[in-house]
Amino acid sequence: MCHTWHRLHPASLIIGVIETAKGIIGLFFALLFIARRHLSVTTIALIFLSVLFVALCQPIVTWLTTRYQLGSGKLSFKSGLLFRKNRTISYGSIHAINSSQPIYLQPFGVVRLTVSAAGAADTDIRLDAVPAALQAELERLRAQSQSTVVASTIAAVGTSEPSAHADAAIDSPQHTDQSGAPAMEPALGNPSRTPLFRASVGDILLFAITDIGFLAAALVVYGFVQQVQDVLPRNLMHEAERSVATALTSGVFSAVLLVLACVALLMVVSIVTSLLRFYGFEVWRRGDDLVVVRGLLTRHTTTIPVSRIQTVTIRQSMLRRPFHLCSVGLGLSSSVANGNSEGSGASAAQILPVISTHRVHAVLHEILPEWGLSEVSIVFAGQRQRASSASSTIVAEHTEASAYTPRLHYTGRGLLRYYLTLPVVATLVTTLAVWLGSDAHAAVALRTWCAVPDLGWTWWLVSAPIALGWWWIMCRLLRARNEGFALFGAGDAFQCSARILVTGALRLTRYELITRRARVQSITRYTTLWREPRGIERVQMSLFVMNGINELRFMFLHRADAEALQRWVEQ
């Protein structure tokens, strides 16, 4: 093992200059354009050189003071001139390795590397320009460290009680046979020759047009307009505003065309951003590692140890429901974002951006056979034939033979009034209050009779609380129909710990989440004084997940269901 300290590749200066320029270049040109008539050419040149010096100074200092070291059992990193930072991550604590290669780094054969440990993003080690082979070397060292831990654990535990240590062994990439010797899954011992999943351009287009996040493209367009309106001539901006106002007031047809044009623009922005994020999307297996490759101009490669996966989540948004499409993401106990990109972490943990609901469980079983996701598809197939209503039966039978298929128990069925009481009452009260303050004739007469001061806002403002209340009611209704769970035993063919399937809804998006008992950090039961006699409770089970759903919530359920979940967690 080499213990020398290595400096980053000089190409990291390019990254530093680009990131610094993002923060000041727009402001510089805006101010320059505004004050161009009051500045001489010499002054403009001096300002430009000063900005260039500031843009280069920090990257050069960072490059000169940053070092990294591959030590015996740990990766070390130090950086800083006045404020120095030293960070160390042991190889066995690595939860994910994420690399990205922007187009301007490809000629140099270097990548931006992010090594993530458990916890928030501030625990990561980010190396801006290092050889591409460093990622493979770190993966080898992590696997070697993990194998050493497993071997020492097996030697200490012995073979007398292998089942008692099932939960402790789930973090290891290997399984043990009856003799106690480590045995790799036959299908996973070697890297897959072909990708286990590849997203075509058509899949990415489906993702773009059915992603509810395409509305966020409106913020991108709005931000762009806000930046250019300070640079463009004022008369040109006034002309554009008059054109929009004319289109809105010319009639219904013109207004509809304008709205459709805006939607088409948002769709184009969504398609372009989706292609940049997911073009060439592939999922590979390399032993215990799941490798996700994606990106058009910037190629991202994320290595996720399967043993570090906390949850597997299948989501289906409102737009994808009519098309029977869904997406799959992984819940991790570490940040997988690379650099300063806010959306890179979510994209890296998304192993299936869009896929048919009829294929999702089969593909997941091929990618993650350790999680026994084929049983989940059997649960939903049986659920279409018969719904369960007794959670006590589930708890009693989930400890039987592994051939038993548990039933999905919906905890919110029959408790609809508890879900809808608050949003309905709040909507009615708010709507009535807004109407009483409006300029409606009946409201004005009532205020006059009650001697209430005149408010007199427009009566159609009552549509705002009605719309918000309707959205709130729909979200609660979706939760009431979808919240449920199914418990899987510990004696299945994969020798993994007991698992739980949880279904629910986040706003208008339905989800299915699979996790293991060992991943549940705690369980909390809530109730109120007026619900306790009726046996109605609320349950919250916390998870150590940094990039997705970090708790399992059941808004309302019977006490028997809450006790069943608590017994399962405490086993």
The string of pLDDT tens digits covering residues 310-329 is 999 999 998 899 999 999 99
Lowest mean pLDDT, pick from 22-26, 113-117, 209-213? 22-26
Domain assignment of residue 248, yes or no: yes
pLDDT 10s digits, 109-159? 999 999 988 766 677 899 999 999 999 999 999 888 877 765 665 665 555
Q: What is the domain extent for residue 471?
A: 416-479
- Higher pLDDT: 450 or 67? It is 67
Residue 339 lies in a domain: no
Residue 541 or residue 451, greater confidence: 541
DSSP 452: P
Radius of gyration of the chain (CA): 29
The pLDDT assigned to 45 comes to: 79
Q: What is the pLDDT of residue 182?
A: 35
Is residue 556 in a domain?
no
Say what the pLDDT of residue 70 is: 93
CB atoms within 10 A of CB 500: 22
pTM over 0.85: no
Structure-model confidence comparison of residues 475 and 548, the more confident one? 475
Predicted local distance difference test score (pLDDT) of residue 435 = 85
Q: Are strands 125-131 and 110-117 parallel, antiparallel or unpaired?
A: antiparallel
Residue 373's pLDDT is 77
Packed helices 373-383 and 360-367: angle between N→C axes, nearest 10 degrees = 160
Can you give the pLDDT at residue 539?
A: 96
Output the pLDDT for position 146.
76
* pLDDT at residue 513 greater than cutoff 70: yes
**Alpha helices for 109-216 (secondary structure H):** 133-157, 201-210
Q: Is residue 451 situated within a structural domain?
A: yes
Residues of the chain with pLDDT > 70, as a percent, come to 74
Count of structural domains, the chain: 2
| Spatial CB neighbours of 268, under 8 Å, sequence gap ≥ 6 | none
Strands, E assignment, 455-526: 484-488, 499-506, 509-516, 520-526
State the pLDDT confidence band at 501, using cuts at 50, 70 and 90: very high
- CB contact set of 503 (below 8 Å; sequence gap of 6+): 408, 410, 482, 483, 484, 485, 510, 511, 512, 513
Q: What is the pLDDT of residues 407-417, one digit of tens each?
A: 889 999 899 99
Which whole number is the average pLDDT over 538-547?
92
- 566 found inside a domain: no
Top pLDDT among 516 and 374 is at 516
Residue 15 covered by a domain: no
Residue 233 lies in a domain: yes
Rounded CA gap, 62 and 482, in Å?
51
Token match 């609380």: residue?
Answer: 465
- What pLDDT score does 491 carry? 47
Mean pLDDT, rounded, for 510-519: 93
Provide the pLDDT confidence category of residue 10 given band limits of 50, 70 and 90: very high
User: How far apart (Å, rounded) are the C-alpha atoms in residues 204 and 187?
Assistant: 29
Amino acid at 201: V
Kindly report the number of other CB atoms within 10 A of residue 384's CB atom. 7
Choose the final residue of a domain: 278, 311, 344.
278
The per-residue pLDDT for 334 is 77
Give one word for 29, left, alpha or beta, with left for phi > 0 and alpha for psi -120 to 50. Answer: alpha
pLDDT exceeds 60 at position 348: yes
For the residues 394-410, what does the mean pLDDT come to? 55
- Measured N-to-C along each axis, helices 463-482 and 416-436 cross at an angle, to the nearest 10 degrees, of 180
- Whether the predicted pLDDT of 340 surpasses 70: no
Q: Residue 517 above 70 pLDDT?
A: yes
What pLDDT score does 493 carry? 43
Q: Which of 108-117, 152-161, 284-293, 474-483 has the lowest mean pLDDT?
A: 152-161
Mean pLDDT lowest for which of 99-103, 172-176, 386-390, 524-528? 172-176
Instruction: Please state, rounded to an integer, the average pLDDT across all residues of the chain.
Output: 80
Q: Give residue 144's pLDDT.
A: 87
DSSP lists the bridge partners of residue 88 as 76
Last residue in a domain, options 234, 253, 278: 278
Q: What confidence tens digit (pLDDT) does each residue in 557-569 have?
A: 999 999 999 999 9
Signed CA dihedral, 153, 154, 158, 160: sign only: positive
Predicted confidence (pLDDT) at residue 393 exceeds the cutoff of 50: no
Q: Who's near 11: CB < 8 A, 6+ residues apart?
A: 104, 105, 108, 110, 129
Cα(548)–Cα(330) distance, rounded to whole angstroms? Answer: 8
Q: Please report the sign of the dihedral spanned by the C-alpha atoms of residue 254, residue 255, residue 256, residue 261.
A: positive
pLDDT at 399: 40
Instruction: List C-alpha distances in Å: 447 to 434, 451, 465, 466.
Output: 13, 6, 20, 22
pLDDT more than 90, % of the chain: 40
Distance between CA atoms of residues 143 and 505, nearest Å: 37
Q: Is the pLDDT of residue 336 over 60?
A: yes
Residue where a domain stops, chosen among 436, 451, 479: 479
Tell whether 50 is covered by a domain: no
